[in-house]
């Protein structure tokens, strides 16, 4: 599948409201025609298609090169749309929706037959959320259909946090891109399963475990977050994701990084370090990328994927990354880094 032209519609704050609306309307038209369109959310850019149309959803997998057993998240503009997608909304799920929607929390529920089979990878459940982004909400309203949308990048690569990232990965592979500027959270949504009684966390993200437990009490964390042996039960649970082209290695004791850099340089490799502004002056490497501040891990989350893409732009061959405390948003940061490194940790 290829497109002679991939439309690039700017819908940032510099455009007047009428022009902004026309671009969103045109993008929605392509979705209703069964095509795929990238759009901004508060987490990362999504690649959207009509979640009720099998042929349209398959175009997402084709454009991304995404494995067909990896389910997708369905985005809706209103809780009223749940009626056509799910069979039941447990009280606990309703409580989570009331508190965290719109926002970066995806909830898994039992699905109706109306949902395209490819969306759920054949499972009897569907993952759903309401995004907290004005462009995304307006697009969903204009399209007037639930929209299946994984991250708008080539499968396995860092997720896109700007329209330019999407254009780099998917130009000529999709109908268009709604460019709403830089995203806010920078990491994908948290995924929680409410279809089995006790809620189970399948993916950490923009809503932290601590946030959820403060509202509903203790939840389970699925051990398969670290396993690739089983079919994924939700988006983001299987396969190496978010990886730069160079080899990424996580280093738990950052004091080891200088000697590791020296060894790599002796082997003639172009080196990189993923650090924060707190430690930026501690290293000598070909490419040093500062990813936010340790004092505010939300800044690390926001800049993580852009930082990983920088190493590709600078052609780093081996990248050593600092690690972060596995608490609050740090859990999601480490989840993404571990997947990007493919388990390579020192």
Q: Are 174 and 325 in contact (CB under 8 A)?
A: no
Q: What is the pLDDT of residues 12-57, one digit of tens each?
A: 654 456 667 889 999 999 999 999 999 999 999 999 999 999 999 9
Burial of residue 252 (CB within 10 Å: 0-12, 13-18, 19+) is: exposed
Residues of the chain with pLDDT under 70: 1-6, 9-19, 224-241
User: pLDDT (tens digit, 9 = 90+) per residue, 240-256?
Assistant: 568 899 999 999 999 99
| DSSP code per residue over 115-150 | S-HHHHTT-SEEEEE----HHHHHHHHHHTS-EE--
Pick the CATH number of 247-341 from 2.40.30.170, 3.40.50.11030, 3.40.50.720, 3.20.80.10: 3.40.50.11030
CA 269, CA 325: separation in Å to the nearest integer? Answer: 29
pLDDT on residue 228: 44
Domain extents in the chain: 7-226, 247-341
161 burial level (CB within 10 Å; 0-12, 13-18, 19+): buried
DSSP-based three-state secondary structure for 111 = strand
Q: How far is CA 107 from CA 147, 165, 222, 294, in A?
A: 15, 27, 15, 30
- Prediction pTM value: 0.91
For 321, the enclosing helix (H) or strand (E) is strand 318-322
Specify the fold of 7-226. DHBP synthase (3.90.870)
- 192: three-class secondary structure by DSSP: strand
**Torsion, Cα of 168, 169, 173, 179 (10° steps):** -60
């Amino acid at each position: 599948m290829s497109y002679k032209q991939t439309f690039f519609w700017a819908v940032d704050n510099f455009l007047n409201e009428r022009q902004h609306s026309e671009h969103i309307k045109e993008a929605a038209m392509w979705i209703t025609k069964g095509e795929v369109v990238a759009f901004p959310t508060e987490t990362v850019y999504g690649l959207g298609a009509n979640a009720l149309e099998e042929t349209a959803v398959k175009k997402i997998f084709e454009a991304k090169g995404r494995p067909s057993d990896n389910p997708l998240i369905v985005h809706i503009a209103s809780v009223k749309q749940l009626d056509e997608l799910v069979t039941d909304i447990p009280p606990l799920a309703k409580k989570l929706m009331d508190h965290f929607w719109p926002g970066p929390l995806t909830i898994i529920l039992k699905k109706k037959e109306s949902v395209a089979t490819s969306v759920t990878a054949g499972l009897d459940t569907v993952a759903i959320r309401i995004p907290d982004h004005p462009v995304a909400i307006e697009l969903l309203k204009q399209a007037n259909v639930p929209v299946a949308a994984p991250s708008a990048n080539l499968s396995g690569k860092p997720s896109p946090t700007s329209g330019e990232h999407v254009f780099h990965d998917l130009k000529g592979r999709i109908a268009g891109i709604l460019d709403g500027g830089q995203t806010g959270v920078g990491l994908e949504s948290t995924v929680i399963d409410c279809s089995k009684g006790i809620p189970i966390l399948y993916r950490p993200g923009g809503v932290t475990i601590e946030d959820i437990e403060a509202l509903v009490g203790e939840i389970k964390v699925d051990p398969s977050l670290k396993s690739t042996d089983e079919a994924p039960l939700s988006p983001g649970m299987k396969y190496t994701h978010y990886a730069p082209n160079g080899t990424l290695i996580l280093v738990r004791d950052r004091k080891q990084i200088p000697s590791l850099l020296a060894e790599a340089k002796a082997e003639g490799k172009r080196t990189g370090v993923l650090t924060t502004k707190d430690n930026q002056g501690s290293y000598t490497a070909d490419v040093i990328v500062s990813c936010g501040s340790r004092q505010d891990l939300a800044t690390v989350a926001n800049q993580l994927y852009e930082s990983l893409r920088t190493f590709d732009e600078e052609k780093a061959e081996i990248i050593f990354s600092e690690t972060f405390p596995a608490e609050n948003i740090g859990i999601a940061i480490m989840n993404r880094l571990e997947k990007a490194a493919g388990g390579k940790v020192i």
